[in-house]
Structure formats: structure tokens, C-alpha cells
Amino acid sequence: MPARKWWASLGNMWKFRNNFALVALLAVSLVCPALAQTAAEKPSADVRRVAAHIACKCGCNDTVATCSMLECSFSKAAKEKIAKLQAAGWTDKAIIDEFIAEYGPGIYRGNPDVFGWLVPYLLIAPGLLLIFWFIRRYRKPPPIAEIGPAPGDPELARYQEQIEKDLAHLE
């Protein structure tokens, strides 16, 4: 019996080693392609800083740094060009001027001004006012609590006396 347990534990250990090797192989196969990214797929902060001032020409309204189109032909090539020019020692302004000379002045995207930062926040106020107006207009008011019979109404007083008599007979 003890020999059988020993063989069973050896078999379980062999399964564990096989599973561990499989998991390690899977992890390596997933990590290696992620490390082998180009400058366009994983741009540095310097590339993103310059690419944020260049409009993407793929048809979207984003910059080269924020283009979300998968395998965008323009932004990928532009990021690689920016990385090469930065490696050659070009300044940010010189790189942007190079893109402007090649594609025209419409490619330049400047930093947003005060108006660009304030508009989204200023549009919140009319939206909140519209919501407040809608709630006030369509909300049903709570029912008014009944205070009792109006003083001096003889018909209500007569009903009240009848109720009192019926309640006295119940007890």
C-alpha cells in the first residue's frame, strides 16, 4: 500500500510540473510580443508630446497621439518619423515645422485655449437647469394630509355622530 501512495504522489507531482511548464510557456508567449513593440505601437512621452500637435490624416478628428483607429496608416508612420527625428536631435518645433511643410498648415493642432477648456463646464449649467425644470414640472406633489371636518358643516357633523354611535356599539 505505501508503494502505491508513493507512485500516486509521483504522478501528481509530474502533472504539476507539466501544468507549470505549460503555464510558463503560455506566459512567455504572451509577454514576448508585447515587448517587441515599435515606436508607433508604444510611443514614448516625447513622441506623444509632439504627436499631440499633429492632426491625423486617416479621416478621424483626433491627433496622431490620440488616434484610436487600429493600424492607422498615417499615425503609425508619423509616430515612427517623429521618433527617428527626435533620435537625430531635432527639436519639437522643428519636427512640427517639418510636418507643416510636408502636409500644409492644416495639420497643426495647437493647445486648447481658455474657451476650449470652459465650454464643456459651461454647458453643464443649462443641462442642470433643464433637468431641474423637468422634475419640477412633471413631479406629482405629495397629497395633502386630511385635517378633519370643516367647522360648521352640519352634514359632516351628522356623519361623525353616526360613526361614533356605531363604534360605541362595537365595544
pLDDT 10s digits, 8-65:
554 555 555 556 666 666 666 665 555 444 444 567 888 999 999 999 988 888 899 8
Q: What average pLDDT does the structure give for the chain?
A: 79
Q: How many other C-beta atoms can be found within 10 angstroms of the C-beta atom of residue 78? A: 28
> DSSP 3-state assignment of 69?
coil
> With a threshold of 0.85, does the pTM exceed it?
no
Q: What angle do CA 69, 67, 92 make, to 5 degrees?
A: 145
Q: How many other C-beta atoms can be found within 10 angstroms of the C-beta atom of residue 89? A: 7
Torsion of CA 122, 123, 125, 131, to 10 degrees: -170
pLDDT of residue 73: 85
pLDDT 10s digits, 120-167:
888 899 999 999 999 988 887 777 777 765 667 788 888 888 999 998
